[in-house]
């Protein structure tokens, strides 16, 4: 989905932008996220200032990552769950990490048209995946967008992704609860095990447990319970449950959310909650640093051409990758 890249000058008046965002202006929030996503150096500096300024107002949302193959029902689930939460008085932001968006120039994930109910709600904010750069870059920007949404008063943030490459790890690293959606007997179970996905998941939820699928959904749930049984859980205070639900028939959604709340209660009681957040912050610092170093390498034409020559030497096997890395590190120091 195309989005405006031009950033009006007024956006760079950071204190004013921060104040309107805090006052609940959706336009300000959208502009702030565009600023965070911009690759221009002056915009990035402004974005850093903005996020730092808003930091005291972040961190209070429930952050939930949601993954699942295309067609599993992510958007239907988010639409229905999001509406339930809004009815309970929450404000719900939906963000996405779509590593393929860099290639396709657009993102299916987080597309408003997929969430018809939520997109008409004042208390929902839906933003598609940033569509530039590497997975690390996309994820880092989504994480900052999440902080902006929190500062704007959104107290539930849902971050969706698809099981491509490392995107699940990236989303898991920015959320408090990682939810893996599966299909009844879709053969997904083996995939999940292979990718290590079920090691990341705080809960596995089998969607489409309705009509003819009901029995198969229960069998699949049993399979996952068996698979989880042999894994060591990430926290000794939480054993990832396996539930079945139907987004379409609106059954099991309330129970699904209750598990997320139970998890938070358990993690708070054990201290794992703040532990996970602290670890995540530090991990993100390193991710941001990697991003900066990489973008420095890419942005400076002189550096870029030197790196290309080194790269050629490595390809020709005239120097080792280790020596090349050393040379590039030295270039960065200059
Ligand atoms: P996404 O690609 O993961 O976002 O999946 P969608 O939410 O777009 O759903 C894919 C298809 O599955 C759509 O045709 C939905 O109507 C259907 N679907 C979603 N949830 C359910 C459900 O609970 N039961 C059934 N039977 N179909 C569903």
**Domain range list for the chain:** 1-57, 59-280, 282-333
Nearest CA to ligand 1 atom 9: 73
Within 13 Å and on the Cβ side, how many CA atoms surround 142?
38
- Distance from C-alpha of 214 to C-alpha of 284, rounded to nearest angstrom: 41
- DSSP track, 154-187: --EEEEEE-S-TTHHHHHHTT-SEEEEEE-TTSS
Q: What length does the chain have?
A: 334
The confidence score (pLDDT) of residue 4 equals 47
The confidence score (pLDDT) of residue 113 equals 75
Query: Per-residue pLDDT tens for 211-237?
Result: 999 999 999 999 888 888 877 777 888
- Residue 201 alpha carbon to ligand 1 centre in Å: 20
Residue 213 contacts residue 184 (beta carbons within 8 Å): yes
Q: Which CATH topology does 1-57 take?
A: 1.20.5
Task: Dihedral sign for Cα 262, 193, 171, 162, please.
Answer: negative
272-298 as b/e: b if 16+ CB within 10 A: bbeebeeebeeebeebbeebeeebeee
- Residue 72 alpha carbon to ligand 1 centre in Å: 6
Q: Which CATH number fits domain 282-333: 2.40.440, 1.25.40, 1.10.3470, 1.10.287?
A: 1.10.287
Q: Is the pTM of this model over 0.85?
A: yes
- Residue 210 alpha carbon to ligand 1 centre in Å: 12
Angle between the 321-333 and 301-315 helix axes, to the nearest 10 degrees?
170
Nearest CA to ligand 1 atom 27: 208
Ligand 1 is surrounded, with C-beta below 6 A, by 68, 70-76, 114, 207-208, 210, 246-248
The confidence score (pLDDT) of residue 132 equals 65
- Residue 267 alpha carbon to ligand 1 centre in Å: 31
The confidence score (pLDDT) of residue 1 equals 41
| CATH fourth-level superfamily of 59-280 | P-loop containing nucleotide triphosphate hydrolases (3.40.50.300)
Place of tokens 């957040």: 277
Nearest CA to ligand 1 atom 11: 71
Residue 70 alpha carbon, nearest atom of ligand 1: 2
Q: Among 68, 71, 243, which residue has the most ligand 1 atoms within 8 Å of its CB, making it the best to mutate?
A: 71
Residue 211 alpha carbon, nearest atom of ligand 1: 26
- Which residues of the chain, if any, have pLDDT below 50? 1-4
Q: Among 73, 182, 214, 250, which residue has the most ligand 1 atoms within 8 Å of its CB, making it the best to mutate?
A: 73
- Residue 207 alpha carbon to ligand 1 centre in Å: 8
Angle between the 272-299 and 135-151 helix axes, to the nearest 10 degrees?
130
- Distance from C-alpha of 102 to C-alpha of 100, rounded to nearest angstrom: 5
- Using DSSP, state whether 216 is helix, strand or coil: helix
- Residue 71 alpha carbon to ligand 1 centre in Å: 6
């Amino acid at each position: 989905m195309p989005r405006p890249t031009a950033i009006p000058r007024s956006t760079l008046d950071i204190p004013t932008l921060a104040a309107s965002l805090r006052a609940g202006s959706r336009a300000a929030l959208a502009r702030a996220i565009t600023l965070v996503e911009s690759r221009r150096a002056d915009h990035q500096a402004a974005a850093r200032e903005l996020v730092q300024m808003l930091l005291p107002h972040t961190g209070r949302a429930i952050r939930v990552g949601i993954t699942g193959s295309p067609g599993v029902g992510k958007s239907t689930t988010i639409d229905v769950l999001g509406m339930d939460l809004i009815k309970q008085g929450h404000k719900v932001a939906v963000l996405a990490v779509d590593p393929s968006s860099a290639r396709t120039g657009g993102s299916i994930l987080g597309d408003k048209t997929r969430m018809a109910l939520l997109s008409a709600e004042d208390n929902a904010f839906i933003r598609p995946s940033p569509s530039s750069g590497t997975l690390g870059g996309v994820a880092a920007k989504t994480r900052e967008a999440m902080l902006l949404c929190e500062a704007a008063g959104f107290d539930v943030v849902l971050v969706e992704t698809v099981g491509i490459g490392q995107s699940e790890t990236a989303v898991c690293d920015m959320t408090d609860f990682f939810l893996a959606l599966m299909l009844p007997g879709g053969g997904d179970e083996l995939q999940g095990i292979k990718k290590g996905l079920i090691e990341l998941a705080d809960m596995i939820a089998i969607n489409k447990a309705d009509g003819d699928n009901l029995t198969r959904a229960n069998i699949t749930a049993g399979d996952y319970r068996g698979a989880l049984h042999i894994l060591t859980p990430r926290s000794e205070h939480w054993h990832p449950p396996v539930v079945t639900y139907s987004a379409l028939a609106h059954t099991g959604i309330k129970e699904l959310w209750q598990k997320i709340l139970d998890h938070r209660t358990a993690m708070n009681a054990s201290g794992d909650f703040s532990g996970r957040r602290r670890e995540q912050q530090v991990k993100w610092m390193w991710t941001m640093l990697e991003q900066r170093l990489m973008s420095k390498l890419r942005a400076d034409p002189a550096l870029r051409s030197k790196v290309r020559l080194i790269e050629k030497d490595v390809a020709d096997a005239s120097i080792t990758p280790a020596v090349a890395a050393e040379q590039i590190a030295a270039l960065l120091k200059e």
